[in-house]
Each structure stands twice: as C-alpha cells, then as structure tokens.
A and B are shown apart, each in its own frame.
Chain A
C-alpha cells in the first residue's frame, strides 16, 4: 500500500487494473479522457489491451465482445457518448454479460466542457442495470474495481458514474499493490441468450426483470451505502461529490443532522426505509436530475407520508448546474454565498495563437461571404462561434446532417458544414454519404489538424498510430470523401491564405456536395520552431484587418496592432497585412 496524489480519472484507471481489466475501449471526451491516457501508461506494465475506438458505440460493442469471451472489459466515455452507445447499451442488459463489463461515464453538471448536462443515472434506470456513484476519488478507485465483480455476480453491465468535479479533482489516494492476472476463457455459443431476435428478446426481458430482485439484495450489502447519526429527526440524503460538500458544512457548523450517503442505484430500499422512518424533514442533495429524490418520494409515500422533503422537486435546490458547498449551505443555513463583486472583462476560451482553424475560418469568410451559413460540430473549432463561422452545434456529426437540411430550403445562401477530422471519423462518414446519396447542395469543410485536439490530442484513424503508439493504417480523408460520392474534393493549407482563397473560389459556384479538406497540424502536434512575428508600428495603419483572424496574440494598443509573446509564428497575419507591417522577429 502506498499513497499518490492522483487525478480522479487516474485513480479510476488504477481501480480498473486492480480489478484485473483485460481490455479497455474509449472515445476521448472531457471529462473522461485521462482515464484512458493513464490506462495506456499502465498497460505497458501489465499488458492488457487499450484502444481509442472511433466512437462510443463501437467502443461499447468491443467491450461487450470481450465480456462474451469471459474476460473483464471497460468502456469509458463522457455522458453524451452514452447517447451514441445507447443502442448497444440497452440491449446488452437483455442478454447480460459473462466477464465483468464496467461502463464508466463522466457526467458534466454545469456543462463545463459539453453541450448538455444530462444525467447518466437515467440511462442505468432505463437499462435496468446497477449504477454505482463514488463520493470521493478513493471511493472511485475502489468502486470500479468492485464493479467488475458486481457485474459478474449480477450478470449485467455495471455503470459507474463520475462527474467533472470527481474526474478532474485530485486527492491523496491509497493504492494497493496490484496482483494482476489474466483469464483463460473462451466464447461459448448460446444463441438463445445472445441473439436478440424477437422471441429471444421477449424471454430476455423476463430474465432481466427477475435479476432486479437480486440486484436489490446486492446493493443492500454495499458498505458504501452508509448512514450516520440516524436517530436525529432531520436528515440529509446525498450522493456523489455532494456528500463531501455536505459533510464539510455539517462538521464546520456542527449541524445536528442525520446523514445518508447513497452510492448505488437501485437505492438500498431497506436501509433508506429505516433511515427516513423517524424523520420529520429530509434534505436531498445530488448532482444532476432528482433521480434519488424521485425514488425517495415513492418510499416515503408508504412509510412516512407526512415527511417534508426539500430538494430539486420541491424547488429549494437548484436544478441546473453543480452542487457546491455554497449551494448546500444556502439551503441548509439560508446563507447566500459571497459572489464576485465587480463586473470584469470576460475571458472566453479562444483558438490558440497560430491555430490552423483560425486560418480556415478567415478563408471561408472571405470566399463565401458573411451571409453563408455554417452548421458546426464539436471540437476546438466550435470556438468559431466567436468569429461567426459556427452557427449551430448539436452533437458529434450533426453539422453535416443539419447542413443538408438547411441547404434543402436555403437555396440562395452557401451552406458550409464544419467538422473536424476526429469528429468526421466518429460520426461524419454516414452523414457525408447521406448528403451525397440524397444530392444535397452543400460544402463540407473537414478541418484536418491530424489529431483529436480539444480532448488532449489523441490519435485517430487518419494519423496512422494507435492508442498505444503503434503504427497502423492511415485513412486518407480526401480519398474517403471521393469514395463516399462527393462531387468535388479539394485540399487547402489554412496557413496559405491567398492560395487557398483562389482554390475555393473555383468550387464556390459549383453544385452538389463539395468537400474541402483543410490540412495543417494543430500547433500541439507539430512543434513550433520558435519563430515570432512583430508589427512595425511605423507601417501599421491600424486598419484592423489582422484582427479578423482572431488570433489571441494580436491586439490593438493605441490604434496600432501589437503582437504579444504568445505568438506561435504561423505567419497568417503577415500574409493578410496589406501594408507589409508584419514581419518575422529576427
């Protein structure tokens, strides 16, 4: 046993190894990506299999396949990834699993880095599988390891729910010395169980429903479902990271409240029943939807109907965003939190200095005009919202489909769907084929920066290496787009403004699906050589043209452009300046 200062996600990776994981599958997504990054590192020691899959559905099915061979597998994703994987996920509960199958989902309350705040526990309820929710990083590590045995005992996949504040927090974590072992098992044909034709599906649902009784028993035994000071009349039920916040307030103010920490769904009905029996008043704090709260209402209805329940349903606890010490303190003690007291200039995330996307956006605006419509997608380039080159963003791959729909009726305006390379592989290919098959009239811009940038620069099938760094095929996006049926495919270099503008003018007035591949590595992929640019203030006329790139290294001081130490030397501004005022700083 030893201690380490670990990120929640790193601790989860250690937990998976302690649980003898044999294969892991994931698509990068904040706040879940570091789990796989750590697993890649640990796999070099223990020799299990780790993969970046092209999307969460494929990842899920892979993990399911491993489980059918009797081995333990994990599939890791952010909350919205489960939407993509949900088709496989829901029915996998019908068939059940053989080797432990653990699904780790990182929810993002407050949508720090996401398009929504959906609560994954709802999925576990829908699929009728057990869900575990750790309240600390230590618990997260211990729970994922335990989740494998629970999965095998229940014969079902087990979902472990993390949240941003757990995945992206750090703590002193106690680690076990790992005794890693592999299994020697094999796939056994059992078509009545694993082939979900209607007759088998109907039988499987019955089996799944019967398993529910067992699961309810298992969660009663869980020591993580625990209570303190139960004799008191006012109680708090809490789960996940909210438990830590509640505990801090309780200890700091010596509050005379009973406290119950829920760590599983289904709820431990017996334990909860005895906890709320003697209570007059009950507070419920949980991240996301009032999932626990709804169930507590049902229990209370029969055993303590007069109990007052204060939570998200009653309206006292906010239903959007995150829980925090402040939020809970306000509900418990009526204290309103100290808020920032000055209105200050906002600092939103922006594209890095020298980001190839900035060049692409500049070029597209110049060629297609301000009237063009830009259905967008998910990646660093979503930040194009600031330059007016992202007009919609729904989910992975949606930019192309949305664009086809818009273009069908917006016949006068150019429609340019913006998608990144990794996102294209994830969800864009069927969308492109659909656009070509159904003769959409749109431009599809694939911003090929040779990486999955936003989530921390993971490889994908276009770059020729796997998660573990081994060489593999690299799929040529231009060729792929042609095969999918694109009318015209052109490649541009977003650092070469004039040349690119010329190429794009040629395809501007064509009809049909035209694909532009803007190829240039992200500045994190290709190391800079230290080149910086500077403005000659004599020559600068303050025309602000260079500001249109929206490079954060350029700003206007006293009417003249100025380039800061953060310049990454892409040279785009030099090419744009009509007065030759921007030059290399030598």
Chain B
C-alpha cells in the first residue's frame, strides 16, 4: 500500500477538527510513518470556516497544494464545497450533510454536493451529526467521521483506536470509540 496520503479536513470552528488531525498524526507515529499537519487556532475557531491538513508520509511542509489531496473530510456541506478544490480528481470525499447556516444564511445542501461532484464521483455523504447525537453527543462527530475515513487511509484501524485513547480524556474514551466504530460500520 502506498503510504503517502494527503488529507484535508474541513468544517466550522468548534467542530473538533484539530482533534481529528491529532489522532491521525498520532496513528502515524504509532506506525512509524512520517507525518506533517497544519491547523487553525485563534480567531477563525470562533465559528469561522476552518481547514486542517494532514500529510501522511510527508517529509516537507505541512500544507497540501491545491488539487493534490487524496481525501476530503468535510464536517459541514458548505465547507466541503469550499475546500473541494484541494481534492485530486475522483478521490473520496466524506461529507456530513447536516448544515450550519453561515452568518444567518441557509443554502441548499444539494447545491453543495453538486459542486463537490464536479471534482469527484466518490462521495460518501450522510447526516452524520444526527448519527452522532444518536450515539450521545454532537461533540463526537469528528471521531465518527474519522471512523468512516479509516478505510481510506494508509494506517491501521487499530492504530487509530490507540491514537484516540491517547488523545481524548479518559472518561470520554468509550463514547469516542463507539463513535469511531459506528463510523467504520457506515463506511462498509
């Protein structure tokens, strides 16, 4: 398996994008792969549009050039559309269809998916927010979506589970693992 994989995670500030990036990175360390990542802190985290880059097998800079990403994970459909220009043709886009209105504006989720379709036919879409709430909290959306992604990344599922254990608070490990496993099921 090619161990190089550039991943964009997109969403809205506060959706736990930094944690997703840390978990993927930690999983790489567990497997001895080199890894780089870039993320957003500060003002944009207050509900702004947020992107994180994770570059598995990378020895250079942390930023994925446009049109070069192997996977897009979007925790919100508008943000998925916004960052779809990063994606290589026909690479997987994992899109949460539950929308967060942007500054009071709603929009058609379908339109967003159409934009993403211009880049790739390989879309795994669903209302993963409601799925997360079903498991117990809106906060675990990020981990549920990592579960869906597990099948596409060049690190083992077990390493990702170990990485989750290392990165979330002890009392939250179980609920996060449930979310991860639910995500993994969805992807099958």
Q: Which residues of A contact B (CB under 8 A)?
A: 3-5, 30-31, 33-34, 112-113, 165, 168-172, 241, 244-245, 247-248, 251, 324-326, 329, 337-342, 344-352, 380, 383, 386, 454-456, 547, 552, 554-557, 564-566
Contact = CB atoms under 8 A, between A and B. Distances in A.
A338 B85 contact: yes
A444 B81 CA distance: 43
Nearest to B13: A349
Contact of A326 (B41, B66, B82, B133): B66
Contacts of B48: 347-350
Contact of A456 (B41, B82, B100): B41
B186 interface: no
B115 A342 contact: yes
A324 B100 CA distance: 30
29 contacts: A5-B22, A5-B35, A30-B42, A30-B43, A112-B42, A113-B41, A168-B41, A169-B37, A169-B39, A169-B62, A172-B35, A244-B60, A326-B66, A337-B66, A342-B115, A346-B49, A346-B103, A347-B79, A348-B48, A349-B13, A349-B48, A350-B46, A350-B103, A351-B46, A383-B43, A454-B46, A556-B104, A564-B101, A565-B138
B78 interface: yes
Contact of B38 (A165, A340, A342): A165
Given A169-B37, A338-B66, A347 B104 contact: no
B44 interface: yes
Chain B interface extent, by class: 35 or more
**CB-based closest 9 A-B pairs:** A113-B42, A244-B61, A30-B42, A349-B48, A169-B62, A5-B25, A170-B37, A248-B60, A347-B102
A171 B60 contact: no
Contacts, number: 157
Given A341-B85, A345-B103, A346-B103, A168 B38 contact: yes
B102 A241 contact: no
Given A345-B107, A346-B102, A349-B47, A30 B41 contact: yes
B60 A247 contact: yes
Contact of B40 (A3, A112, A251, A324): A112
Given A168-B39, A337-B66, A342 B46 contact: no
B44 to A, nearest CB: 5
Nearest to A382: B43
A245 B61 contact: yes
A32 to B, nearest CB: 10
Interface in B72-121: 78-79, 81-82, 85, 100-107, 115, 118
Given A325-B61, A344-B81, A547 B138 contact: no
Given A170-B38, A244-B60, A344-B81, 12 more contacts: A112-B42, A112-B44, A171-B35, A172-B33, A245-B61, A325-B61, A341-B118, A344-B82, A346-B49, A346-B103, A348-B103, A349-B48
Contacts of B12: 347
Contacts of A168: 38-41
A454 B101 contact: no
A172 B103 contact: no
Interface of B: 12-14, 21-22, 25-26, 28-29, 33-49, 60-63, 65-67, 78-79, 81-82, 85, 100-107, 115, 118, 129, 133, 138
Given A340-B85, A352-B47, A555 B41 contact: no
A339 B85 contact: yes
B81 to A, nearest CB: 6
Contacts of A165: 38, 61-63
B9 to A, nearest CB: 13
Given A168-B38, A168-B41, A172-B35, A345 B66 contact: no
A236 to B, nearest CB: 15
B77 to A, nearest CB: 10
A342 B129 CA distance: 25
A337 B67 CA distance: 9
B106 A555 contact: yes
A351 B45 CA distance: 10
A241 B61 contact: yes
A347 B66 contact: no
Given A339-B66, A345-B78, A170 B100 contact: no
B10 to A, nearest CB: 11
Contacts of A456: 41
Contacts of B14: 352
Contact of A4 (B29, B38, B42, B118): B29
Contacts of A325: 61, 63, 65
B21 A170 contact: yes
Given A171-B37, A247-B60, A5 B82 contact: no
A110 to B, nearest CB: 12
Contacts of B49: 346-347
A31 B21 contact: no
Nearest to A329: B65
A559 to B, nearest CB: 12
B47 A345 contact: no
Contacts of B26: 5
A336 to B, nearest CB: 10
Contacts of B34: 172
B133 to A, nearest CB: 7
